[in-house]
A and B are shown apart, each in its own frame.
Chain A
Amino acid sequence: MKAAFLHYGKLLLSSFILFIAVITVLFFLLEIAPGDPVQALLGDSPVSDEFRAQIVASFGLDKSVWERYFIYLGNTLTGNLGLSFGSSMTVAELIMSRIGNTLALALPAFVISTAGGIFLGAIAARTRSKALDGAISGTSVAFFSLPNFWLGLILIMIFSIWLGWLPTQGKSPYGQDGIALQYLILPVITMATTELAYKARIMRSSMIEALGQDFIDTARSKGLSRDRVMWRHALPNALLPMITVSGYSLGFALAGSVVVERVFGWPGMGLLLYDAVQRSNNQVVLGVVIVITISILIINFLTDVVYGLVDPRVRAKFARSSRSAS
Chain B
Amino acid sequence: MTVDNTSVGSGGTRVGDPGLGGSNSIDAIREDDILDAPPTGAVPTAPRGRKVDSVWKLYFRKPGTIAFLIVLAVVAIASFIGPYFAGNPVATVNPTLLPPSFEFPMGTDQLGRDYLPRVLLGGQVSLLVGFTVALLCMTLGLIIGGLAGFYGGLADAFLVKVAEFFQVLPGIVLALVAAALFGANIWVIVIILSVTMWPAVARIVRAEALRISQLGYVESARAAGFHSTRILWSDVIPNAMPPVIVATTMTVGRAILIESALAFLGIGDAEQPSWGALLNSAQSYMATGWWLALFPGLCIFLVVLAINMLGDSLNDSLNPSIGKVK
- A residues whose Cβ falls under 8 Å from a Cβ of B: 7, 11, 14-15, 18-19, 21-22, 25-26, 29-30, 33-34, 125, 133, 141-142, 144-147, 149-150, 153-154, 156-157, 161, 198, 201-202, 205-206, 208-209, 211-212, 216, 240-241, 244-245, 247-249, 251-252, 255-256, 258-259, 262-263, 273-274, 276-278, 280-282, 285-286, 289, 292-293, 296-297, 300-301, 304, 307-308, 311, 313-314
CB A254 to nearest CB in B, in angstroms, measures 9
B224 at the interface (CB under 8 A from A): no
Residues of A within 8 Å of B283, CB to CB, are 153, 263
Q: A153-B283, A154-B297, A247-B11 in contact; A304/B6 too (CB < 8 A)?
A: no
The answer to whether A198 and B14 touch (CB under 8 A), given A141-B308, A150-B293, A209-B19, is yes
Residue pair A145, B305 in contact (C-beta under 8 Å): yes
Residues of chain A within 8 A of B11, CB atoms compared: 244-245, 247-249, 251-252, 300
* Nearest-neighbor residue (CB-CB) of A243 within chain B: B4
A30 contacts B181, CB within 8 Å?
yes
Q: Are B10 and A244 in contact (CB under 8 A)?
A: yes
Known A147-B257, A205-B17; contact A262-B264, beta-carbon cutoff 8 A:
yes
CB neighbours (8 Å) of B324 from chain A are: 125, 133, 208
| Known A149-B279, A202-B17, A244-B10: A314·B3 in contact at CB below 8 Å | yes
Shortest CB-to-CB span from B185 to chain A, Å, is 13
Decide: B168 and A259 in contact? CB cutoff 8 A: no
Asked if residues B6 and A142 are in contact (CB atoms below 8 Å), the reply is: no
Complex contact A286–B177 (CB within 8 A): yes
**CA distance in complex: A252, B166 (Å):** 11
A182 to B10 CA separation, bound complex (whole angstroms)? 35
Given A142-B305, A247-B11, the answer on whether A161 and B287 have CB atoms closer than 8 Å is yes
CA distance in complex: A309, B81 (Å): 57
Q: Which residues of B contact A33 (CB under 8 A)?
A: 181-182
Contacting residues, chain A, for B96 (C-beta < 8 A): none
Within 8 A of A (CB), among B135-167: 164-165, 167
Contacts of B179 in A (CB 8 A): 277
Instruction: Give Cα A297–Cα B14 distance, bound, in whole angstroms.
Output: 18
- Which of A11, A212, A276 is in CB contact (< 8 Å) with B1? A11
Check A202 against B18 for contact (C-beta < 8 Å): yes
Q: Is B28 an interface residue (CB 8 A)?
A: no
Complex alpha-carbon distance, A244 and B324, angstroms: 24
Contacts of B282 in A (CB 8 A): 153
Q: Residue on B with the closest CB to A211?
A: B326
**Hey, which chain B residues are within 8 Å of A251, CB to CB?**
11, 167
Contacts of B309 in A (CB 8 A): 141
User: A7, A133, A241 — which one has the most chain B CB atoms within 10 A of its CB?
Assistant: A241
Contacts A18-B165, A209-B18, A240-B6 known; list 6 others, CB within 8 Å.
A145-B301, A157-B293, A244-B11, A276-B180, A289-B173, A296-B170
Q: List 19 A-B contacts (CB under 8 A).
A: A26-B177, A141-B305, A145-B253, A147-B300, A147-B301, A150-B279, A153-B286, A202-B17, A202-B18, A205-B322, A206-B6, A208-B325, A212-B326, A244-B4, A251-B11, A255-B172, A274-B176, A289-B173, A300-B167
Closest A-B pairs by Cβ, 6 of them = A248-B11, A150-B297, A33-B181, A145-B305, A241-B6, A145-B304
Cβ-based interface call for B76 (8 A): no
Q: Is B265 positioned at the interface, with any CB of A under 8 Å from its CB?
A: yes
In the complex, what residues of A have CB within 8 A of residue B182's CB?
Answer: 33-34
Which residues of chain B come closer than 8 Å to A154, judged between CB atoms?
293-294, 297
Main secondary structure of the interface of B (DSSP, over half): helix
Can you name the residue of chain B whose Cβ is closest to the Cβ of A295? B168
B1-40 interface mask toward A, CB cutoff 8 Å, 1 = contact, 0 = none? Answer: 1111110101110100111000000000000000000000
Chain A residues contacting B307 (CB-CB under 8 Å) are 145
Determine whether B261 belongs to the interface, using a CB cutoff of 8 Å to chain A: yes
A117 to chain B, nearest CB (A): 13
Q: Indicate if the CB atoms of A156 and B181 lie closer than 8 Å.
A: no
Residues of B that sit less than 8 Å from A by CB: 1-6, 8, 10-12, 14, 17-19, 164-165, 167-170, 172-173, 176-182, 253, 257, 260-261, 264-267, 276, 279, 282-283, 286-287, 290, 293-294, 296-297, 300-301, 304-305, 307-309, 312, 321-322, 324-326
How far is B309's CA from A31's CA once the two chains are assembled, in angstroms? Answer: 43
Compute how far the CA of A67 lies from the CA of B88 in the bound complex, rounded to whole angstroms.
Answer: 56
**Complex Cα gap A8–B287 (Å):** 53
Rounded to whole angstroms, the CA-CA distance of A313 and B2 in the bound complex is 14
Given contacts A11-B1, A150-B293, A150-B297, whether A29 and B172 have CB atoms under 8 Å apart is no
Which residues of B lie under 8 Å from residue A293 when comparing CB positions? Answer: 168-169
Residues of A within 8 A of B165 (CB): 18, 21-22
Determine how close the nearest CB of chain A comes to the CB of B129; give it in whole angstroms.
14
Residue of B nearest to A33 (CB): B181
Given contact pairs A141-B312, A212-B325, A289-B177, A15 touches B1 in the complex (Cβ within 8 A): yes
Cα distance A25–B196 in the bound complex, in angstroms: 14
In whole angstroms, how far apart are the Cα atoms of A273 and B6 in the complex? 34
CA distance in complex: A256, B252 (Å): 19
Determine how close the nearest CB of chain B comes to the CB of A48; give it in whole angstroms. Answer: 30
Interface contact A241-B264, CB-CB below 8 Å: no
When the two chains form the complex, which single residue of A142, A157, A258 contacts B290, counting CB atoms closer than 8 Å? A157
Cβ contact of A248, chosen from B10, B176, B326, cutoff 8 A? B10
Q: What chain B residues lie within 8 Å of A202 (beta carbons)? A: 8, 17-18
Chain B residue contacts of A212, Cβ below 8 A: 321, 325-326
Tell me, in angstroms, the Cα distance from A150 to B295 when the chains sit together. Answer: 10
Interface centre among B5, B264, B307, B326 (most CB of A within 10 A): B326
